[in-house]
Amino acid sequence: MKYWKYRPFPPLKINNRKWPDNVLMKAPIWCSVDLRDGNQALPIPMNVAEKLEFFNLLLEIGFKEIEVGFPSASQVEFQFLRELIENNLIPDGVSIQVLTQSRKHLIEKTFEALQGIKRAIVHLYNSTSELQRRVVFNKDKKAIIDIAVEGATLINELAEKAKGSIIMKEYSPESFTGTEPDYAVEVCEAVMDVWKPTPQNKIIINLPATVEMCTPNIYADMVEYFHTHIKNRDSIILSLHTHNDRGTSVAASELGMLAGAERVEGTLFGNGERTGNSDIVTIALNMFSQGIDPGLDFSNISRIVKVYEKCTRMTVHPRHPYAGELVYTAFSGSHQDAIRKGLNIYERDKPKYWEVPYLPIDPSDVGREYEAIIRINSQSGKGGVAYIMEHNFGYKLPKDMHPEFGRVIQKETDITGEELKPERIMEIFKREYIDIKEPIQLLRYKIEENQYLAQNENKVHLKATLIIDGKEKEIKGEGNGPIDAFFHGLREIGIPSYKFVSYDEHALTEGSDAKAIAYICLENQNADKLYGVGIAQNITTASLNAIVSAINRLSKLSGVK
């Protein structure tokens, strides 16, 4: 690759930079540019109906500033803005933002589209970068400043005539990242000289990374330089508009806020020209995960994704932070085990703060469900399988049983090469533990129990009918309990001796028809250990079925060791 064609972006020399020691404490002013920057980047731009649906979604989320288009450049954009105004669709307290180049006829058309609006932000821009001055415009620095000043002057005049409308002004030195920092300050101050902002009547100065050209820390240096060198800093709202050409627009926006910015422009899920804009969903939920109120409501992220995909015809990547289909799932076995343990402790202890391994936020905070967190494939482990069994079906497998059933599932996924849904996992569990009826099946049994109080003894006499290798057999046994008596009865008819290793039980359902489940681990003469499982309304029946299940599995072993 011809790497020598490129040169590194020059770092900015700043003495005693402050932003690395700053901490984000509150959310910025958010401005959605989905309906303008995002829309113009779509292969099929939204029509008026789709833009209206998307606009209403942005209102539901809580945006108070929404850039709706470039009304002087497109009839659809013009028509959409008129529909919002004429049908009184803009709520009180919401400002509509419109973009215009610093060209007379475009500015005039923009104000024509704004007639009758209550509140608007008129966003003026012209490119100031060294490259565009030299290659595109063939103009010197003064000529570029003149373009900005001419546009700012006309906006002043037209805003004065817009009676009954509150017009806020915004200026962007387009391609700020390619503009010399001192010259960016000079251009913006020339615009400020025209607009004459005050602390009571501020303007917005927006610093766009129209093309992301450097690492986020250098962008933060440029923002801090501007923040500390611009005059009348208390009379402006410093805004950011980052693009994602290097894949770091979210980080650039976050560091830019540390460097002094108080407003962020971006889009849902980062839609925008080329590699996209900064993703407001990610920035806002990053703040949320740090205990900061983002001021935007993403509590039903699945619905937001649905409307977004419908209107834009774009898809949200399954790994997209906070919103993707797979971001609250874990396929790795160690991750699954850690999540299962973390969720159990969180639900048990109910601590003040969320702390679950591998999950930076509680999925339910964005409308996602615990049941979908862990999914099983060939990379999964025992913890994930146990989690599915407990949280989807109520089966609390003994800890020592986790690796055993995990190997059963692992074998299945190795064969199919596919992800296993919870329903399929339950089918395999039943096949392996519940429905295994050979070589032994328990048909019926009867118990007689005698208590010898003086000797503090309990004697149980058990009679049972079994099917063994297709033939009915009666057994009789005596012991200090039903399980002990059943074992003795099996030995009497020549069933090999098994060592009893462990016993666990719990209620599977509640109410008068509640069922119990028993898990029994047996060890054969070769030191092989396997679990059996029994389910019944009677715990004794469940326990005897669990013994039969374990014996049947040990008699086959079926490759599970």
| Residue 358 · residue 331 · CB < 8 Å | no
Q: Where are the domains of the chain?
A: 20-312, 333-434, 440-556
User: Distance between CA 11 and CA 307 in Å, rounded?
Assistant: 41
Return the H-helix or E-strand segment holding 206: strand 203-209
Mean pLDDT in residue range 240-247: 97
CATH architecture of the domain 440-556 equals 2-Layer Sandwich (3.30)
- What DSSP string describes 409-461? HHHHHHHH-SPBPHHHHHHHHIIIIIS--SSEEEEEEEEEEEEETTTTEEEEE
Phi, psi of 512 (to 5 degrees): -65, -25
Return the H-helix or E-strand segment holding 536: strand 529-536
Mean pLDDT in residue range 432-441: 92
User: Distance between CA 216 and CA 213 in Å, rounded?
Assistant: 9
Pairing of strands 263-266, 440-452: unpaired
Reported confidence tier of residue 74, pLDDT bands at 50, 70, 90: confident
Fill in the DSSP letter of residue 269: G
| Residue 108 · residue 157 · CB < 8 Å | no
Lowest mean pLDDT among 110-119, 368-377, 448-457: 368-377
Asked if residue 12 has pLDDT above 50, the reply is yes
User: Distance between CA 561 and CA 558 in Å, rounded?
Assistant: 8
Query: In the chain, pLDDT over 90 holds for what percent of residues?
Result: 76
**Which pair of structure tokens corresponds to residue 453?**
């109080």
SS3 299: coil
Pairing of strands 29-32, 65-69: parallel
Q: pLDDT by residue (tens digit) across 457-515? A: 778 899 999 999 889 999 999 988 899 999 899 988 888 888 999 999 999 877 667 89
The per-residue pLDDT for 339 is 86
Beta strands in 8-61 (DSSP E): 29-32
Cis, peptide link before residue 439, omega less than 30° from 0: yes
Burial class (CB in 10 A: 0-12, 13-18, 19+), 479: middle
Phi, psi of 313 (to 5 degrees): 65, 20
User: Distance between CA 466 and CA 230 in Å, rounded?
Assistant: 91
User: Distance between CA 171 and CA 183 in Å, rounded?
Assistant: 15
The per-residue pLDDT for 379 is 65
CATH tag, 20-312: 3.20.20.70
Return the H-helix or E-strand segment holding 51: helix 48-61
Residues in contact with 75: Cβ distance below 8 Å, sequence separation at least 6, in sequence order = none
User: Distance between CA 453 and CA 508 in Å, rounded?
Assistant: 33
User: Distance between CA 271 and CA 312 in Å, rounded?
Assistant: 9
Q: Which residue has the tokens 């001055």?
A: 133
Reported confidence tier of residue 525, pLDDT bands at 50, 70, 90: confident
The per-residue pLDDT for 558 is 46
Cβ neighbours of 53 (radius 10 Å) = 13
Burial 3-32 (b: 16+ CB within 10 A, else e): eeeeeeeeebebeebebeeeeeeebbbbbb
Q: pLDDT by residue (tens digit) across 324-383? A: 988 888 777 788 788 888 998 999 999 999 999 999 999 999 999 754 455 666 666 666
Asked if residue 103 has pLDDT above 70, the reply is yes
Pairing of strands 440-452, 471-479: unpaired
The per-residue pLDDT for 381 is 61
User: Distance between CA 133 and CA 136 in Å, rounded?
Assistant: 6
Residues in contact with 37: Cβ distance below 8 Å, sequence separation at least 6, in sequence order = 67, 265, 267, 272, 273, 277
- Maximum CA extent, the chain: 111
Residues in contact with 239: Cβ distance below 8 Å, sequence separation at least 6, in sequence order = 29, 31, 170, 204, 205, 206, 207, 261, 262, 263, 264, 265
User: Distance between CA 101 and CA 148 in Å, rounded?
Assistant: 9
**Mind spelling out the 3-state secondary structure of 331-369?**
CCHHHHHHHHHHHHHHHHHCCCCCCECCECCCHHHHCCC
Mean pLDDT in residue range 70-91: 93
CA 9 to chain centre: 33
Asked if residue 178 has pLDDT above 80, the reply is yes
| Residue 478 · residue 463 · CB < 8 Å | no
The per-residue pLDDT for 561 is 39
Residues in contact with 196: Cβ distance below 8 Å, sequence separation at least 6, in sequence order = none
| Residue 397 · residue 384 · CB < 8 Å | no
- What DSSP string describes 82-139? HHHHHTT-S-TT-EEEEEEES-HHHHHHHHHHTTT-SEEEEEEEEE--HHHIIIII--
The per-residue pLDDT for 456 is 65
The per-residue pLDDT for 106 is 96
User: Distance between CA 443 and CA 432 in Å, rounded?
Assistant: 19
| Residue 434 · residue 533 · CB < 8 Å | yes
The per-residue pLDDT for 417 is 82
**Which pair of structure tokens corresponds to residue 144?**
């570029």
Mean pLDDT in residue range 401-410: 90
